[in-house]
Structure formats: structure tokens, C-alpha cells
Amino acid sequence: MTVVDLTGALSEDRSPAVVLAPVAELPPRRTPVRTDLSTEELHPSLEDPALTSMNLLNEIANHYPDAVSFAAGRPYEEFWDVDDLPRYLARFTEHLRTDLGYSEERVRRTLFQYGRTKGIVHELVAANLELDEDIRVDPESIVVTVGCQEAMVLVLRALRSGPKDVLLAVSPTYVGLTGAARLVDMPVLPVASGAAGIDFDDLLDQVQGARAAGLRPRALYVMPDFANPSGVSMTEKTRRTLLQLAREEDFLLLEDNPYGLFHSGERVPTCKALDEQRRVVYLGSFAKTVLPGARVGYVVADQTVTGPDGSAGLLADELSKIKSMLTVNTPALAQAIVGGKLLEHGCSLVQANEGVREVYAANRARLADGLAARFGTGSPVTWNAPAGGFFVVVTVPFPADDALLTRSARDYGVLWTPMHHFYDVDGHGRNGTRSLRLSCSVLTPEQIDTGLDRLALFITDELARTRRGAEVR
Amino acid sequence: MTVVDLTGALSEDRSPAVVLAPVAELPPRRTPVRTDLSTEELHPSLEDPALTSMNLLNEIANHYPDAVSFAAGRPYEEFWDVDDLPRYLARFTEHLRTDLGYSEERVRRTLFQYGRTKGIVHELVAANLELDEDIRVDPESIVVTVGCQEAMVLVLRALRSGPKDVLLAVSPTYVGLTGAARLVDMPVLPVASGAAGIDFDDLLDQVQGARAAGLRPRALYVMPDFANPSGVSMTEKTRRTLLQLAREEDFLLLEDNPYGLFHSGERVPTCKALDEQRRVVYLGSFAKTVLPGARVGYVVADQTVTGPDGSAGLLADELSKIKSMLTVNTPALAQAIVGGKLLEHGCSLVQANEGVREVYAANRARLADGLAARFGTGSPVTWNAPAGGFFVVVTVPFPADDALLTRSARDYGVLWTPMHHFYDVDGHGRNGTRSLRLSCSVLTPEQIDTGLDRLALFITDELARTRRGAEVR
């Protein structure tokens, strides 16, 4: 079943009991005796595109299961083995016994019982951050979360203290961030990305404009490495300037880094690695480097927080209080699986991901070469060439909206993600956006070629249609 | 390490890296170069007793590790075996292959990849509800959650559509519910419990009073079976009256049922089993019946919701949208463990929990007999005798506050939970509450006896102190 993955995270329904209804022929939902509730009585986020886009796109995708999907942002699956799971579990259990000297009773309790709110693999995560990212943090400043999504909710819930608090986000923005902000009623002010990954003039305009309007910009959300959806990365110079502006204008940076290990060229230090004044709250994910099904992510929040009595603690401990009322703790079993893999690889995931890194690099190259072969010089179709990650953005000379996606899937058998879904303008996509996101993380080379053939035919026909439309006018 | 478990869920820090500092001698937190944030800049819930009580009580508990703890509400651990985990995983995997006919690729994808937002064990949960609770629901109306805590957050986030929406809760109330309400800024109006588990006069006063104040009571939170913390249960007649009032006054019932299987006498049907008009949103947990470490709970939300276009869907699908931005999906690995145990027992957890049910019953009896032996007729000390669950409430003729708990732990070596933490009066406990919660879910008979000896000595001394104080006046 082909499924759109709008976010690279929020993903498909593939239960045997559930196949989402196709867009064109929604079956009548079983009619109730009477209506119990209406959407007007529910939180406004439930009618917000940030929460509904994915469902819509999944419905389109599920209606065309034979289409080649450049939409799915899921990680590559071929290196996974079900037999790894008990081995990871055993490895972590052995770690508790041997390295930590736990008694059998304590091992059992650690896996079965309620556990530490901030997590049980925080020491391993800290070791991983030092080895793979050159980030040195106190393990106590780490909160292990139910995927990076929960980490974003924790941070935004903490920072949204009242109606004045707003968030800044480089636009186009990961939909999961926008959705998390909706759940805590926190406005998101878009900041232009540009070729550098962020437009500093627009950033300052937004920050100062918000202040002038009596608002308090608390943080800027950025994905400096191979951003979802733009694929754009920031240079080290840009990152250093960003840190300086964060200090000068007094806001935090929320750095999200799910794709950093999947680079082709040299790696650039993360903002957190360059952070000398605790300006960066670092959002981490093991979804792409270990497995998504464990739903294990984390947040590094080493900022100090002073209480009314003058005592200073860690922001991580404040986030932990929120987590205790959100999910209590991250499932120990899921942490054990991730911990087991970390232990098997000496806490570094670079080598462990070498094979999949090469797959992604080869797929990106094949996608770029394939686009060049099909849209030569002089073509009005352009695209970027990210040096890592899952995503490439193609720009076309006509609006790439959901109706067009439906036509592309229905008549040409190829799926992609309309970029307008990633532009959150007053809770609506930027209409008329003329670009589409292509992901190649779960496709074979042959599927990439087939998909590009279909995409080329679709775009060529659409260009002709557009021209005819122009001539008629 | 003895640890207070205020909620029966929100639980202990037992990482080797972390031993919470004792209340009396908090070590100086590493002083920051400068303060990054202050609590005034963070969400008000972070200073709210609903989120801070547990930490405080854990600190007291951790300061007195040798004290006998009547505070820990964790499930009994002796029947757990680490070797069960891979077996449960294998059993669920076999189910995917054999019962559902999944290919190896699909099995792998189901366990490793992002998954269905509403969960992958919903059919098994529906079968379990029919077998063990006589609740018949469409599996599509079930959302599998990261513990029951996430289920509460999903429901309250959906129902808190604006400033008018308020929640009702039988008081004393499970702290996890109050905490979840804080995270979505939803006021909680307390409704008196009384001996019946709810005071209907007070309920009507609260509902009508709220309406008169321009508020909209959306739902009433109840734990009809062996409530945490009161231990009180509702009769079938009370439950039927409650359903009738919910219809007449147009609010939902949020029924939380973590302890239903741990009964001594006859079981009473749940409100959901008696619900004929979809008035009940049912909150389920596998924390006590399978294991807490999986963090798998669920919500049954079969209410219909009508959208702006007149189309009718399920409340479960609205909750799913929120979940997609909170945790994306419940870890497949954790669901697989719970699913495996359900499958091993034909989806019924009654027989599977017979051994632990007997342990809890014996512990409750020993606690009751022990109290009777130590506080005979004529004693000003009284207690209730719940026919199930983990908790007994002891009433004493003096305020049982946190200072007294500290003295009890320090001078007498016995821990309990001051009941005032469960009274949420304008965000503060009901001062001067003269009762304490005793839990016996993780104690041996010998520990119960020792703990009661210490408790009796402590209370006797405290009574003498109180009398002397009275004479002085």
C-alpha cells in the first residue's frame, strides 16, 4: 500500500482492519442514532490543516496503491530483521546486570515497572551525542521521550506560559512542529528560509515585529541539516550567526536533527555542538538511525531555570514534570531496544548506519541524475540537490496543489507532496505554491526511474495544459 | 529504595545515575553562569501542586529508603519474568503471520516502521473488553495510547475547546487526571464522593452552578471500581443513576478502570457496559493487568462527531489526530508485548491475573485485620475496607500533612500518602485533611505487619502529642 508521509514521521495506517477511504469515493460513515458531538465543541486544532493535511494526503495515497510514491518519508527497511529485537533486549538486560551491577530483581523492575520519568538510556544517549555529534552534555539534562514529537510538545508546553508567548519557525516547516504548537495554542511565526536555510533579515523583522506587537518570541525552530521538507542545510557560518542572534535577541533555538547522519559530503557541526551559552534546546530522534517503531527520541535541555525561591534547576527537570502528566515515562521496553542497539555499536550510530547512508546517497544521486536527464537545460522545471537527508524539492511553473496531486496519482501513477502543506500562513498553506517535495528514502532505483518517467510525463502534459490555458486567455 | 507513588502510576526515579535529593538536605544544584530562564516564564502548571506533589513525596521517600512504604502504588512484581518478554513478542509476531496472514516484509514493517496512529492491537483490546468487561465496541472506536495518561490528555485536549469548557471530577481525584487537565489549561470542578462514590446533590449543584457562571461542563471523571485514592466503589444502581444524569444534564462520563479485575466480591458492571447512548468515554490501562513498563493503555471513544460539512465520524478519529501530534503512535514493540500476553490468554486477563488478584486480596485483608487489631473499638482512628484495588484510607483525629509524613518516615520508619494531595481546591490541597492513603500492592505480609506496628506507634504518639497540645491551650 502506497502511503504519503507528509512529515517523515506521521505515518501510515496499515492495519488489516483499516484501509482509509479513498478521497473520491468516501463511503458513508455509519450514521449515528443522534450526533453526540460536533467539531465546534472540540479543540480548534482538530479542524486545522496542521492536523488534517496528513489524513487528506493519506486518503489520496491509499486510493492509488499502485502509484510510485515520492511522498513516503519513511526510513529504508531492508536492513531490519525481526530477530534483532530480542537480541537488542538481551544486550540491554546484560548491560543492566554487568555494567550497572543490577540484581535480577532490579533488572526485572527496570523493564517491567514504572520507571524514571527522564528515561533509562540517558547515559547511553549522552555517550552517543559525544561520539557522533561532539555534543557534551550532562545526562541529567536529557529527557528520553516517546519519539521526537513528544519532545517538541514538552518544550512548547513549557515555553507557552501565556498569550504573549509565540514561536518562530523557519518556513517551510516540518508539520509535526506546527501541529505540536497547535496543541498548546502557541502561534507560529514563519521565518523565510532562502538558500541559506534562514533569512536573517526576515528573522529580525519577525522578532522585532512580534515584540512591537506586545508578543514574546520564545524560540526559533530550525532543522539545520537536510531540513524536512526543503532539504536545505545551513553552513557553519550561518549556524554561528544564528547562535549570536539568539543571544542578542534573547530567544532559544530548537534544533531538530533527524537526518544529520545521512550526509554525502563533510558534516557540519550542529548548533548544539557550537552552543557555548545554552541557547540551544536539542531535539533528537532514533527513528531514522535505529527504528521508528520504538518511538524513542529525546530532548537535551541543559538550560537553567530559577524558581521563585531562587533555587536553580535544569529545564530538563521542568520538562520531566510535564512528561509525568503526558506519558508518565517512555516505555522501558522501547528504550531497551534502542539501548541494546546503541550498546552493540559502542554507542556510535555512524558505523551502524553506513549501509543505509549509502542507500540514501545513491537514491538522491539517481533522483538528481534522473531529473537532469528528463528536464534538461532550458526546462522551466528546477530542483535542489541536498547533500543529505531524504528530500528534494522540485519547482514547476504551475501551482502544485492537492487537486493536481490527485490527477498525478490517478492519471500518471505517481505521488509526491505539495509543498504548500509546509507553509503555515495563518493556519493555511501558501496557496499557489509551485513546488513539490520528493522523497526517495524507501524506493528502489527501479522505482525511482519509473516514478521519474511518470512524473516527467505528468509535468510535460501539465505544462502543455497550462500553455493552452494561457493561449485561451 | 522505598518510593512514594502518589498516583499509582506516576512513579519512581531509580536510575543508577539519579537518586533524588532528600528533602532536608537538598544539595546545592550546580550554579549556572547565569540564569537562562525563570519559572515565571514557563507554563503555570509547572508550579502547580498537581505536577509538583509527586516530586516532593518522592524526595521524602528517597530520603528514608529503609522506611516501610504504604505509599507505593505500583503493581506486585513477583510474578514477572524477563524471559516472558521475547516470548510475548514472538507470540504477537506469530499472530501477524498466521492469524492475519502478514508477509515477512509486512511483519517486519509492522514492528519496526511508523504505524497506525490508533494502534495495532485494537482488535485484541476489543476482544478483551468483550470477554472481561462485557463491553462491545467497534475496534475502530479504540485508540491505543502511551499508557492511560496519554488517553486522558487526548480526551481533555479535545474537550477543552475554549475558556468556557470545564471538567468535573469526583474528589478526592487521581492526581494524573488533575495534571492532565493542567496541561490543557482546563479547570477541574470537584464533586464530593461520599460513601456512594459520588454525591449526586453536589454533582447537580456543580453542573448547574457552572452553567450559571457561563461555563460548560463537558465531562465528569469517575473511577467507579476501587478508586484511587479513596478505594470506594459505586453500586450498579449508582452507576445507572450517573448515566441517567449524564444524559439529562448533557455531559460525558470519563470512566477510568485500572483496578476492576482486582476484586474480592462480585464484580459490578462498568458504566461503559451499562452505557446505551455513548455517554461514556472509557479509559483503559494494561499497567496493572499486564505490566506498567510497556506503557500501553487505551481509550474507547465511540461517540459520533459531526463535522462542518455534516459528515459524521468517531470521536476516536478526532483523538487520533491529536495523538498524531503528541506521540505519533504508541510504540509497536510495546503493543506487541501486551498483544502477546493477550494472545497467550485468549484475550482474557481474568485468569492471567488470578494469582496477583489473590495476593492483593490477602494483603488488603491483612491490612484491615492489622488495623482492627491495633486500633480497637473506641479508638478515634477509623478506616474503610474496599472490596478490591490497592488502596485503603485511614482517618485520624489530626491533620495528616507533609510535615507529619516526614516525621512518620524519619522517627517511625513508615511512609504513607497524605490524602490532601488528592483534593484539588483552587490548585491547592485541602488543608487540614485528616486522612492518609495506605497501599499494600507491593508489600509482603511481614512488611505489612511491621509497617502497621510502626504506624500504630506513630499515631498513638501523635494522638498523645495532640492531647497535650489541647491541654496546653
Express each pLDDT in B307-344 by its tens digit.
Answer: 888 889 999 999 999 999 999 999 999 999 999 999 99
Per DSSP, B102 falls in state: -
Which residue, chain included where needed, has cell 482517618? B395
Distance CA A76, CA A289 (A): 10
pLDDT confidence bin for B28, thresholds 50/70/90:
very low
Decide if B313 contacts A29 (C-beta within 8 A): yes
Cell numbers for B397:
483525629
B215 phi and psi, to 5 degrees?
A: -95, 165
> Are B108 and A80 in contact, with CB atoms under 8 Å apart?
yes
Would strands B417-418 and B188-192 be described as parallel, antiparallel, or unpaired? unpaired
Phi and psi torsions of A112, nearest 5°? -100, -35
Whether chain A has a CB inside 8 Å of the CB on B339: the answer is no
Interface of A with B in 17-36 (CB under 8 A): 17-18, 26, 29-33, 35-36
pLDDT of residue A52: 87
Q: Which residues contact A453 (CB under 8 A, 6 or more apart)?
A: A374
Q: What is the per-residue pLDDT across A55-98, written as a single tens digit (0 to 9) for each?
A: 888 889 889 999 999 998 999 999 999 999 999 999 999 999 99
Spatial neighbors of B22 by CB under 8 A, at least 6 apart, are B59, B60, B62, B63
pLDDT tens, position by position, A31-48: 434 558 999 999 999 999
For residue B430, what pLDDT is reported?
Answer: 66
Phi, psi for residue A389 in degrees, rounded to 5: 80, -160
Q: Is the predicted pLDDT of residue B300 greater than 90, yes or no?
A: yes
B66 at A interface, C-beta within 8 A: no
A45-73+353-467 and A84-349, same CATH topology: no
pLDDT tier at A448, thresholds 50, 70, 90: very high
Question: Is the minimum CB–CB distance between A2 and chain B shorter than 8 Å?
Answer: no
Tell me the nearest-neighbour CA distance from A372 into chain B, angstroms. Answer: 32
Question: With an 8 Å Cβ cutoff, are B331 and A295 in contact?
Answer: yes
Q: Does B160 touch chain A (CB under 8 A)?
A: yes
At A105-136, the pLDDT tens digits run 999 999 999 999 999 999 999 999 999 999 99
Chain A CB contacts of B337 under 8 Å are 333
Q: Which residues face A68 on adjacent strands?
A: A414
> What is the number of CB-based contacts under 8 A between chain A and chain B?
368
For residues B169-189, give the mean pLDDT: 96
**pLDDT tier for residue A429 given thresholds of 50, 70 and 90:** low
The counts of H helices and E strands in chain A are 14, 16
- Put simply, whether B309 touches A (Cβ < 8 Å) is no
Which DSSP letter does residue B294 get? G
Report which of B334, B385, B323 is spatially closest to residue B88, judged by C-alpha positions: B334
Whether the model clears a pTM of 0.80, i.e. scores above it, the answer is: yes
Instruction: Determine the Cα–Cα distance for residues B259 and B364; give it in Å rounded to an integer.
Output: 14
Task: Count CA within 13 A, CB hemisphere, residue A400.
Answer: 25
Task: From residue A89, give the alpha-carbon distance in Å to each of A93, A347, B82, B86, B147.
Answer: 6, 15, 10, 8, 21
Task: Spell out which residues of chain B touch residue A18, defining contact as CB-CB under 8 Å.
Answer: 116, 118, 140
Question: Which three-class secondary structure state does DSSP give residue B413?
Answer: coil
Q: Rounded to an integer, what is the distance from CA A203 to the centroid of its chain?
A: 21
Residue-by-residue DSSP string for B246-271: HHHHT-EEEEE-SSTT-BSS-----H
**Residue in A closest to B312 by C-alpha:** A29
The CATH topology of domain A45-73+353-467 is Aspartate Aminotransferase, domain 1 (3.90.1150)
What does the mean pLDDT of chain B come to? Answer: 91
Dmax (CA) of chain A: 80
Q: Please report, for chain A, the start and end positions of each structural domain, with discontinuous segments joined by +.
A: 45-73+353-467, 84-349
Judge contact between B261 and A297, C-beta under 8 A: no
Lowest mean pLDDT among A260-269, B46-55, B292-301: B46-55
Judge whether B303 is closer than 8 Å to chain A, CB to CB. Answer: yes
Within an 8 Å CB–CB cutoff, is residue A321 touching chain B? Answer: yes
A159 to B42: CB separation less than 8 angstroms, yes or no: yes
Residue-by-residue DSSP string for A343-368: HHTTT--TGGGHHHHHHHHHHHHHHH
Q: Could you give the dihedral angle defined by the CA atoms of residues A315, A319, A321 and A325, in that order, rounded to the nearest 10 degrees?
A: 170
Residue B397 has pLDDT above 60, yes or no: yes
Residues 79-108 of B with CB under 8 A from A: 80-82, 85-86, 89-90, 93, 100, 102, 104-108
3-state secondary structure of B92: helix
Mutate to test the interface with A, among B36, B166, B247 (most CBs of A within 10 A): B36
Q: Angle at Cα A398 formed by Cα A395 and Cα A401, nearest 5°?
A: 90
Structural contact between residues B73 and B391, judged by C-beta atoms closer than 8 angstroms: yes
A309 CB near a chain B CB, below 8 Å?
no
Distances, alpha carbon B470 to alpha carbons A294, B301, B467, in Å:
60, 54, 5
Say if A395 is an interface residue toward chain B (CB within 8 Å): no
Cis peptide before B172 (omega within 30 of 0): yes
pLDDT at A3: 40
Residues A187/A168, Cβ–Cβ less than 8 Å: no
- Quickly state the pLDDT bin for A254 (edges 50, 70, 90): very high
Average pLDDT over residues B390-419: 96
Residue B285 corresponds to which cell in the numbers above?
A: 490501562
Residue identified by cell 545513491 is: A362
Residues in chain A: 473
Cell numbers representing residue A438 in the block: 520528493
From A82, A304, A313, residue closest to B108, measured CB to CB: A82
ipTM, two decimals: 0.92
Helix, strand, coil % over all residues of chain A, rounded to 5: 45, 15, 40
Q: Which residues of chain A neighbour B324 with C-beta distances below 8 Å?
A: 10, 51, 54, 179
pLDDT at A5 over 70: no
Residue B299 DSSP SS3: strand
Whose cell is 475547546? That residue is B161
Is the pLDDT reported for residue B27 higher than 70? no
Q: What is the C-alpha to C-alpha distance for residues A336 and A120, in angstroms, rounded to an integer?
A: 8
Provide the pLDDT for residue A389.
Answer: 97
Contact between B11 and A110 using a beta-carbon 8 Å cutoff:
no
C-alpha triplet B65, B66, B67: angle, nearest 5°: 95
Nearest-CA distance A382 → chain B (Å): 31
Other Cβ atoms less than 10 A from the Cβ of B379: the count is 16
Alpha-carbon distances, residue B168 vs A37, A129, A180, A434, B319 (angstroms): 18, 45, 26, 49, 20
Q: What is the 3-state secondary structure (H, E, C) of A395-456?
A: ECCCCCCHHHHHHHHHHHCEECEEHHHHCCECCECCCCCCEEEEECCCCCHHHHHHHHHHHH
A400: left (phi over 0), alpha (psi -120 to 50) or beta: beta
Query: From the CA atom positions of chain B, what is the Rg in Å?
Result: 23
pLDDT in tens, A190-229: 999 988 999 999 999 999 999 999 999 999 999 999 999 9
CA distance A437 to B256: 43
pLDDT tens digits for A369-403?
A: 999 999 988 899 999 999 999 999 999 999 999 99
The set of cell numbers assigned to A1 is: 500500500
Which residues from chain A sit within 8 angstroms of residue B90, using beta carbons? 86
CA distance B196 to A235: 66
d(CA B289, CA B469) in angstroms, rounded, equals: 47
| pLDDT tens, residue by residue, B250-264 | 999 999 999 999 999
- What is the SS3 assignment for B168? strand
Which own/partner pairs from B402-411 qualify as long-range (CB within 8 Å, at least 24 positions apart)?
Answer: B402/B56, B402/B57, B402/B60, B404/B462, B405/B57, B405/B60, B406/B23, B406/B24, B406/B60, B407/B458, B408/B455, B408/B458, B409/B60, B409/B61, B409/B63, B409/B64, B409/B67, B410/B64, B411/B458
| C-alpha separations of B149 from A118, A275, A283, B434 in Å | 16, 35, 23, 28
Find how far residue A215's CA is from the centre of its chain: 27
B155 touches chain A (CB under 8 A): no
Q: Is B73 on the interface with A (CB under 8 A)?
A: no
Residue pointed to by grid coordinates 542578542: A248
How far CA B318 is from CA of A18, A307, B140, in Å, comes to 16, 37, 12
Residue of A nearest to B58 (CA): A116
Burial letters A365-382, b for 16+ CB under 10 A, else e? ebbbebbeebbeeebebe
Among B13, B182, B321, select the one facing A52 at the smallest CB separation.
Answer: B321
Q: How far is the C-alpha of A165 from the C-alpha of B199, rounded, in Å?
A: 41
A140 has a chain B CB within 8 A of its CB: yes
Domain B84-349: which topology?
Aspartate Aminotransferase; domain 2 (3.40.640)
Q: How far is CA B222 from CA B122, B187, B194, B229, in A?
A: 23, 16, 13, 12
Q: How many CA atoms lie within 13 A of B427 on its CB side?
A: 14
Contact assessment for residue A338 and residue A290, using Cβ atoms and an 8 Å cutoff: yes
